[in-house]
Amino acid sequence: MFTGISLRPRDKAVKRYASILAIALFSGSMAAAPTADEAFGKLAEQYVSDLSLISPVSATLIGDHSADHELDNVDARGRANTRRLYLEYRAALAAIDRESLSRANQVDAEILHNEVESSLWALDTFQSWAWDPLVYVDLSGRSIYGLVARDFASLEQRFGDASSRLEQLPRFLGQARESIDPERVPKIHAETAAQQNPGLVSIIDTMIVPRMDELTPGTRDRLTAAIEVARNAIAEHQTWLEEELLPRAAGDFRIGAELFDAKLAFALNSPLSRREVKARAEDEYESVRHQMYEIAREIYAKTHTYTAFPDTPNEDYKQVIIRAALEQAYQRLPPRDGIVEVAKEYLQQATDFVIEHDIVTMPDDPVEIIVMPEFQRGVSIAYLDPPGPLDQGQAAFYAVAPLPEEWTDEQVTSFLREYNMLSIQDLTIHEGVPGHYLQLALSNRYPSTLRSVLWSGPFVEGWAVYAERVMVDEGYLDYDPLMRLINLKSYLRAVTNAIIDSAIHVDGMTRDEAMNLMIEGGFQEEREAAGKWVRAQLTSAQLSTYFVGYQEHVELRKAIEEEWGDEFTLRRYHDQALSYGSPPVKFVRALMLGEDIPQSGE
């Protein structure tokens, strides 16, 4: 959901409002009215265009470069303008007869409805703008990174727009400080913001300064002055974070049942409730651990030939055997500073396997493996940053976080055990091929820009988890049981993610309880579990998307296998399932099986 805010002059907003109003009126008119599909098509096109009003930074990231010179307005007036805009879209959607829409447009209308309602809820009820300083650190970092990371325009144009945004940074950060109520800010959010805020300086120093000699004198002089303004603004904000916000931060990071349930419903866009997700995850937890024991017993027996395994082992016995088998994987560790290079090798290996085994159509879109930008570190170890759907031909970035320099040897070893050579293969499948890179590259080919922009987290994350399992099932690494065990451990992480997500925010799960579940129950190393504890405090509802999305993908494939029978092939299924973009899985199911398009709340 977009919670950023309008900066455009009000006269442009008035023209845009008239356009939305006209769509709503004509769609309900009897005389010379456009069809419902025509009206919705105009509304969807207008919404994508209006993202530059809602958030210029977000518009840049989807490939709309009409407002690249602007930086979001994050004060009360900006929020009021954004709220007004979403209310106009709510009214325009209500005026369109959705039952008269094509099936494809029915899906897009439901997606837009969920986005409008979730964004209004975020502004009015969740109010992260008032208590989460990371919102502003992220926006400020992305505002510049989005301009300099990809060559979508000339260097002169992109760096000129960067100058404009850097010049506006004092205003932006000042509005951020005015918006935040320190007493509502959780300590962990303040600490992480103070850690990430200097990351914008690293973008300037590593991605802008080295290329300034390529600019014309006028652009270079303006950029030099803008950088000085930005450095001062970042330093001032850092002082505020450390000396004003941190000492006063007294909010509770646990958002509670009411907020969590509402946020989860918007994030999943699924009929599954928090309690149903929890029940499914707890059942799956037991099942996956049993599967791990069966594989681990096979691995253990190869080196301990005369072991007599009990017919009914207790959980303590299973625990020992699983850990002993995992230790074999932990003997294969990457070099501390070599994870990026290892990931590059494994990305090519996974790509070759997908092509050889005809698993899914392989896109030829460019992809680069990079070191994660500093302003985005501290939440996850890796992510896939795709180009915006309007930025055709630009590279996707598979970003990997470097190990913190301050870590002890013990912490480094803990991390590398978690991300051993087999785990990096699994991670590269998830982030790269046939996971996020492949799926999102194909998603951006879907003709509905609206659907590409408003992609579903559970569809995308669930697909990546599903992709890991497909590769192992199809014999990746010659059916190596140790790879299967690592894959099950990775999936168990998705399961425990879903458990701790609500348990922490709703049930009051403590750090010790969460760490015990992740380390003893999920076989995670201390560094991974400690990082997940931080992530679970900083986010809510997102950790559930991996497990829920995976479950939905598995159920969809089972239904299609039954429907197609002998005509089912992996490539046919995967190509068709990915041909609809990245909507919630329930809509893909309806489109593939000819079922009614689910309505809001279904």
**Per-residue tokens: 21:** 């109003």
Q: Which of the residue ranges 198-212, 367-381, 451-465, 554-568 would you say has the lowest mean pLDDT?
A: 367-381
Residue identified by tokens 């996707």 is: 396
Task: Express each pLDDT in 190-219 by its tens digit.
Answer: 999 999 999 999 999 999 999 999 999 999
Per-domain boundaries in the chain: 1-126, 409-593
- Identify the three-state secondary structure at position 127: coil
**In this predicted structure, which of 100-104, 133-137, 442-446 has the lowest mean pLDDT?**
442-446
Start-to-end C-alpha separation, the chain: 20
Percent pLDDT > 70 in the chain is: 94
Exposure string of 481-515, with b = 16+ CB inside 10 Å and e = fewer, is bbbbbbbbbbbbbbbbbbbbbbbbbbeebeeeebb
Tokens 């013990």: give the residue.
410
- Comparing 170-174, 367-371, 557-561, which segment has the lowest mean pLDDT? 367-371
Query: What's the CA gap between 18 and 213, in Å, rounded?
Result: 46
Cα(259)–Cα(51) distance, integer angstroms: 26
Q: Is the pLDDT of residue 136 over 80?
A: yes
Q: How distant, in Å, are the alpha carbons of 100, 134, 263 from that of 125?
A: 33, 18, 10
The predicted-structure confidence for 394-439, as pLDDT tens digits, reads as follows: 999 999 888 888 889 998 898 889 999 999 999 999 999 999 999 9
| Entry pTM | 0.93
Mean of per-residue pLDDT scores for the chain: 93
**Model confidence at 19: pLDDT above 80:** no
**Tens digits of residue pLDDT in 483-540:** 999 999 999 999 999 999 999 999 999 999 999 999 999 999 999 999 999 999 999 9
Share of the chain above pLDDT 90, in %: 87
Instruction: Give the per-residue pLDDT at 412.
Output: 87
> For 28-48, how does the pLDDT look when each residue is reduced to its tens digit (9 = 90+)?
444 456 899 999 999 999 999
The tokens describing 479, both together, are 């059916």
The burial class, CB within 10 Å (0-12 / 13-18 / 19+), for 153 is: middle
* Res 64 pLDDT > 50: yes
Reported as a single tens digit per residue, the pLDDT across 458-477 is 999 999 999 999 999 999 99
Average pLDDT over residues 254-266: 98
The answer, yes or no, to whether residue 27 has pLDDT greater than 70, is no
Query: How far, in Å, are 271, 490, 507 from residue 546 at the CA level?
Result: 16, 11, 20
